[in-house]
Structure 1
Amino acid sequence: MDFLCKLISCSGYQDQHPHTILYNILSRQESGYLNNKLNRSTATHNCHCEQRKIVCLKDPKATCQVASSVLVKTICFLRSLPSFCQLPSADQSSLLRHCWVSLFVLGLAQDKIAFEVTDVPNSSILRQILLGPGPTEKEADRPTLAGVHKLKTCLHHLWNLDLSPKEYAYLKGALLFNPAVQGLSALLFIEGLQQEAHRALREVIHLLYPEDTVRFSHLLQAALSLQTVSHSLVSELFFKPVIGNTNMLHLLTDMLFVQ
């Protein structure tokens, strides 16, 4: 019953259907328990219904096109690095699987890609009542407003830092060559490559901002925040409208290794 109260409070159902049987049952003045729940939900409105909303791109055709372009640039960046191409193919695949989302978001930031989302219509009230409040397995992977907000926060953080092209390149290298990825066979070599990327990033920061002693740490913090963006969010939001049910990791592997 608590779920029904929250559902009505959050969906605007009360205003749209003030005389339905369901509404009359739930809103009877003598039912103090239900009224207290409704009042508490209305007063705070912190049931996170907005954040759980499933969303999609407002202009999928244009946005998916530019997103695909960013992804191609990301794969081309990897293939242009001799140090990456010299790694065993299994290590290349592992690093790609771990970092492709972070590199893609860096690409969105570097190309100044902005996008808007819109709500996906909710399933009917009756269906939610009968099946319960939890998302289905399929819905659990779909983009939510909260996920998009996290992604946009990362983008705005990077834009506020106003990275130079070299800073973007070395930050990508620092994210790519991650010795923490499990199962790497060339672990020491990859660790050395990450250290080299950090050293190069420090040098370019010192050259561009000689008085800024905290920029390096700010850039690394921004890079770490990218790892909070989920693979499913990026795949579902930017690429599923184009590739359908094609496995994203299989597609990336083909792009990396197929000539």
Structure 2
Amino acid sequence: MSPPDCYCTEYGGRHPHAILFNILSQKETNDLRNWDYYTTSHNCHCEQRRLVCLRNPESTCQAASAVLVKTVRFMKSLPSFHHLPRGDQTLLLRSCWVPLFILGLAQERIAFEVMDLPANSILRKILLNDQESHSERETEDCPPTLAGVHNLKLCLNKLLSLDLSPKEYAYLKGALLFNPEIRGLRSTTLIEGLQKEALRVLQEVIHTLYPNNRDRFTQILLTASSLQTIAKSLVSELFFRPIIGQMDLLELLNEILFTK
């Protein structure tokens, strides 16, 4: 699959629709323009389409795997999630594991570096061959690009700059997990209520910790909304393809979720 004409088009046109993001103000566009040095030096990342891989895959993949396991265990630990129909649990997992995983990376302060993917790399062949043999997934699966990694690091840096407390992380994860806008859910009303409750408690925690900071709640939600721009394929191919090969990552996540 050929890359998009412009990185800005690829990521700029995505707008989440969940309750979590509908309450945000119109200043989101202006705030996003100020993020990180990646956006200050270039308005367009078309030159960053080159393929990349982790510089230290052994240590980074191990750390990322630990974060992913913690992410799924967080879901399992919530009684409100555990009592949802199994189909709803699967849909929420499929839709929300990436933003929750990125929150975990930030919370654990996992650092990583990338380098150009060698032309003769076995990993490169696996990624490209996997694309060609799974044409129905072409819209989702693609090798990691430098532009995609820049976008991921931009989000991580913004999260780190907020210096979230453990409670803020926990309730923000809950608000992202219980997304009533996901198609196919049976318990939409219940899940909507759970998201509203997570947002309410998050706001209370912020007011307790930062009574004089009226903008923090909005800042956190703006940052959370940016996580929706991170493609599942980027995360899975960058952090997990080197260790799972052509295995289906979602199948592995389902096993973790539903194994006692």
Q: TM-score, normalised by structure 1?
A: 0.75
Equivalent of 1:66 in 63, 67, 92? 63
**In 2 relative to 1, CA 149–48 (structure 1 residues): closer, same or farther, beyond 3 Å?**
closer
**In 2 relative to 1, CA 192–52 (structure 1 residues): closer, same or farther, beyond 3 Å?**
same
Equivalent of 1:114 in 105, 111, 132? 111
CA deviation digits over 1:85-110, x for unaligned, max 9?
00000000000000000000000000
Deviation at 1:231, TM superposition (A): 0.4
Find the aligned partners of 2:45 and 2:96 in 1 and give their Cα distance.
30
Deviation at 1:248, TM superposition (A): 1.1
User: RCO (CA 8 Å, sep 6+): is it higher in 1 or 2?
Assistant: 2
Q: Find the residue that maps to 1:227 and give its secondary structure.
A: helix
**In 2 relative to 1, CA 121–208 (structure 1 residues): closer, same or farther, beyond 3 Å?**
same
Q: TM-score, normalised by structure 2?
A: 0.75
Find the aligned partners of 1:49 and 1:227 in 2 and give their Cα distance.
20
Contact 1:55–1:120, Cα closer than 8 Å, also in 2 = yes
Find the aligned partners of 2:191 and 2:44 in 1 and give their Cα distance.
45
**In 2 relative to 1, CA 199–120 (structure 1 residues): closer, same or farther, beyond 3 Å?**
same
Find the aligned partners of 2:85 and 2:97 in 1 and give their Cα distance.
18
Deviation at 1:217, TM superposition (A): 0.8
Contact 1:143–1:237, Cα closer than 8 Å, also in 2 = yes
**In 2 relative to 1, CA 49–215 (structure 1 residues): closer, same or farther, beyond 3 Å?**
closer
Higher alpha-carbon Rg? 1
Q: Superposition pairs for residues 165-204 of structure 1, below 5 Å?
A: 165-204=166-205
Find the aligned partners of 2:205 and 2:234 in 1 and give their Cα distance.
33
Regions of 4+ moved over 3 Å: 45-50, 135-140
Letter in 2 for 1:121: P
Structure 1 vs Structure 2: percent identity of aligned residues?
62
| 2:142 aligned residue | 141
| 1:97 aligned residue | 94
Aligned length: 204
